[in-house]
Structure 1
């Protein structure tokens, strides 16, 4: 695996470690400012990944799938980062500290609206990630060195459209709450 590939793995692990450290500091040790400090580190992790991928490409590396996934990771992290932290925060409060409300399961139109908001975040992640990839394609300006980026943009475009179709289908065929078992 390339340096960038390992850095993606490192950043994903580091992302969840700082979130867990932030939640533990905030709720277990009641150190709200330290908890906020750890949670605020998540954008720094994205910056480290961006710099690593940029330096690798600047030094003449052929753009690989790992470089492209780095751009996808950054887009997803920026678009979904806050909601992922809120998701983890709510579950940590309820399941670990036994405080807060139980995370509710969504059904019907409520679920459809929630899903479409998630799709909008997916679109934002796509615009950021694909924008980074297109920018890199123009910056490198050597099509043979950036072929992997075009493939990633094409696949992600298909995934985005499929996700939109799923979002729309939730309005047409809303999910129903399962009947309690006897």
Structure 2
């Protein structure tokens, strides 16, 4: 329990984050189930609109928690990172889930398989990395706003940066972005740029017949 408190603090915000995660999936799959199983498109649209509102509630709760004097801890950082992830990847997740529901319950087209190589693979790698970049930008923006709320300060050395809760996380997020760039788009361009050439060699029967 002491390690849990040390990591997440005494704030109930961690439960708000868990609740937001649960609400995200409930509203997403609940909204799609209402659309394709009950044929209630208006109610479905209202439920899906509620997905980004969950993020707004989480931002407000985080700001209230910090304004109340709570010291920044991993919980606040997690809330900010969660916000960046849902904003950057939320629409893509909703679209994929919608395609799957439409195919499974409404006779829609089957979801397209993820390309394994070729130009389509490269485009997908760049698109995914841009979403990661957007998520990190939003998260870092939230972390800097958090730093301003508790008193602006900039570490004077890398050791101080690594020990600081907020600035240390910013450095980690930048490192993750760089690693993802190399393992994603750079790898795709260097090693998966072209699709394997299918064997189109025409097989011709031997014209010489044995007697």
Q: Give me the TM-score of the superposition, normalised by structure 1.
A: 0.89
CA distance in 1, matches of 2:164, 2:57: 24
Unaligned runs of 5+ in 2: 1-7, 154-159, 199-211
Q: Where does residue 103 of structure 1 map in the other structure?
A: 111
Q: Larger Rg: 1 or 2?
A: 2
Aligned partner (choices 47, 63, 69) of residue 60 of structure 1: 69
Aligned partner (choices 127, 131, 145) of residue 121 of structure 1: 131
Q: Which moved more, 1:168-177 or 1:48-57?
A: 168-177
Task: Confirm or deny: 8 A CA contact 2:81 2:136 kept in the other structure.
Answer: yes
Superposed displacement of residue 98, structure 1: 5.7
CA distance in 2, matches of 1:12, 1:151: 25
CA RMSD of aligned residues (A): 2.1
Superposed displacement of residue 111, structure 1: 1.7
- 1:152-167 aligned at under 5 Å gives the runs 152-167=169-184
SS of 2:56's equivalent? helix
SS of 2:109's equivalent? coil
How many residue pairs get aligned? The number is 176
Superposed displacement of residue 161, structure 1: 0.7
CA distance in 2, matches of 1:93, 1:162: 35
Superposed displacement of residue 8, structure 1: 1.0
Structure whose residues are more often helix by fraction:
1
Aligned partner (choices 187, 192, 202) of residue 169 of structure 1: 187
CA distance in 2, matches of 1:154, 1:169: 23
Query: 2:50 aligned with 1:41, yes or no?
Result: yes
Unaligned runs of 5+ in 1: none
Q: Where does residue 40 of structure 2 map in the other structure?
A: 31
CA distance in 2, matches of 1:133, 1:153: 8
CA distance in 2, matches of 1:85, 1:76: 13
Query: 2:30 aligned with 1:21, yes or no?
Result: yes
Deviation string, structure 1 residues 20-53 (Cα, Å, up to 9, x no partner): 1110111111111111111100111001111111
Deviation string, structure 1 residues 115-136 (Cα, Å, up to 9, x no partner): 2111111111111110110111
Q: Which moved more, 1:50-59 or 1:165-174?
A: 165-174
Ranges of 4+ aligned residues in structure 1 off by more than 2 Å = none
Deviation string, structure 1 residues 76-133 (Cα, Å, up to 9, x no partner): 1111111110011112222x31622222221212122112111111111111110110
Higher relative contact order, chain-length normalized (CA < 8 Å, sep 6+): 1
Q: Give me the TM-score of the superposition, normalised by structure 2.
A: 0.77
